[in-house]
Amino acid sequence: MAERAFVENLERAGFEHVEVLEQRPFGVDDCERYPLFTADLIALMRKLIPPERQGEVAVSVVIKAVLGK
């Protein structure tokens, strides 16, 4: 989902003062730290994703928002 669309969805859900604090590349090595990504899935990602692309397979975004009243 595009960052702007995500922010708009948060605002539609009642959040206010939505601000993006950080964006950074998220690679296969980063995925290994999360239980959602099993050893088999990581192995498959390493097999199918070219080595030059494995450093950035997604973007990690940190967002701060306040739930409206």
**Quick one: 28 exposed, middle or buried, by C-beta within 10 A (0-12, 13-18, 19+)?**
buried
Provide the percentage of residues in the chain whose pLDDT is more than 90.
83
Q: How confident is the model over 18-46, as pLDDT tens digits?
A: 999 999 999 999 999 999 999 999 999 99
pLDDT of residue 52: 97
Q: Tell me how far apart the alpha carbons of residues 18 and 30 are, in angstroms, rounded to a whole number.
A: 26
For residue 68, the model assigns a pLDDT of 84
pLDDT band at 4; cut points 50, 70, 90: confident
* pLDDT(6) > 90: no
Please tell me whether the overall predicted TM-score, pTM, comes out greater than 0.85 for this model. no
Burial 32-46 (b: 16+ CB within 10 A, else e): eeeeeeeeeeeeebe
